[in-house]
Amino acid sequence: MTTRGVSTSTRSSRATRSPEVRRVDFGRRVVVVRRGWVAMRFEWRSVIVCTAVAVAVVVMSVLALTTGSYQISVSQVVSALTGGETGLVHDIVVEWRLPRIAAALVFGSALGVSGAIFQSMLRNPLADPGIIGFSQGSYTGALIVILVVNGSYLQLVGGAVLGGMATAVLVYVLAYRRGVQGFRLIIVGIGVSAMLGSLNTWLMLKASLEQAMAAAAWGAGSLNGVSWDQVAIGGTVIGALLLPAGILSGPMRQMELGDDAAASLGVRVAATRLALVVVGVALTATVTAASGPIAFISLVAPQIARRLARTAGITLVPAAFVGALLCLTADYIAQHIAPTPLPVGIVTVVLGGGYLGWLLFTEARRRL
Partner 1 sequence: MSTSTGTDRSTTSNEPSTMLDPLVPRAPAQGAQEPSRLHVDAATIGYDKRIVSERLSVAIPDQSFTVIVGPNACGKSTLLRGLSRLLKPSEGHVILDGADISSYKTKEVARRVGLLPQTAIAPDGITVADLVARGRYPYQGMLRQWTKTDEEAVLRAMEAAAVTDLSGQLVDELSGGQRQRVWVAMALAQHTDILLLDEPTTFLDITHQVELMELFTDLNHVGHTLVAVLHDLNHAARFGTHLIAMKDGAVVAEGAPSEIVTAELVEEVFGLRCLVVPDPVAGTPHVVPLGRDRDRP
Is residue 264 part of the contact set for partner 1 (CB under 8 A)? yes
CB 330 within 8 A of CB 297: yes
Task: Determine, following the binding rule CB under 8 A, whether residue 206 of this chain makes contact with partner 1.
Answer: no
Using CB under 8 A, which of 5, 83, 87, 266 touches partner 1? 266
Q: Does 363 bind partner 1 (CB under 8 A)?
A: no
Q: Is residue 154 close enough to count as binding partner 1 by CB under 8 A?
A: no
Q: Does 28 bind partner 1 (CB under 8 A)?
A: yes
Least CB distance from residue 40 to partner 1, whole Å? 5
Residues 284-313 that bind partner 1 (CB under 8 A): 306, 310-313
Tell me phi and psi for residue 339, to 5 degrees. -55, -40
- Smallest distance, Å, CB 363 to partner 1? 13
As a whole number of angstroms, the distance between CA 337 and CA 331 comes to: 10
| Interaction of residue 261 with partner 1, rule CB under 8 A | yes
Among the listed ranges 35-43, 151-159, 165-173, 329-337, the one in contact with partner 1 (CB under 8 A) is 35-43
Report d(CA 138, CA 146) in Å as an integer.
12
Residue 25 near partner 1 by CB under 8 A: yes
Q: How far is the CB of 30 from partner 1 (least distance, A)?
A: 8
Number of residues lying near partner 1 (CB under 8 A): 37
φ, ψ of residue 59 in degrees (nearest 5): -60, -45
For residue 9, the minimal CB distance to partner 1 (Å) is 12
Residue 173 or 232: the one with the smaller Cβ distance to partner 1 is 173
**x/- contact string, 121-140, with partner 1 (CB under 8 A)?**
--x-----------------
In the list 1, 2, 8, 24, the residue contacting partner 1 (rule: CB under 8 A) is 24
> If binding is defined by CB under 8 A, does position 250 make contact with partner 1?
yes
Contact call for residue 366 and partner 1 (CB under 8 A): no
Query: Which x/- pattern, by CB under 8 A, does the window 178-197 give for partner 1?
Result: x-------------------
Nearer to partner 1, 255 or 346 (CB): 255
Task: Give the per-residue contact string, 87-126, with partner 1 (x = CB under 8 A; - = no).
Answer: ------------------------------------x---
> Using CB under 8 A, which of 15, 74, 88, 247 touches partner 1?
247
Residue ranges binding partner 1 (CB under 8 A): 22-28, 32, 34, 37-41, 123, 178, 247, 250, 253-254, 256-261, 263-268, 306, 310-313
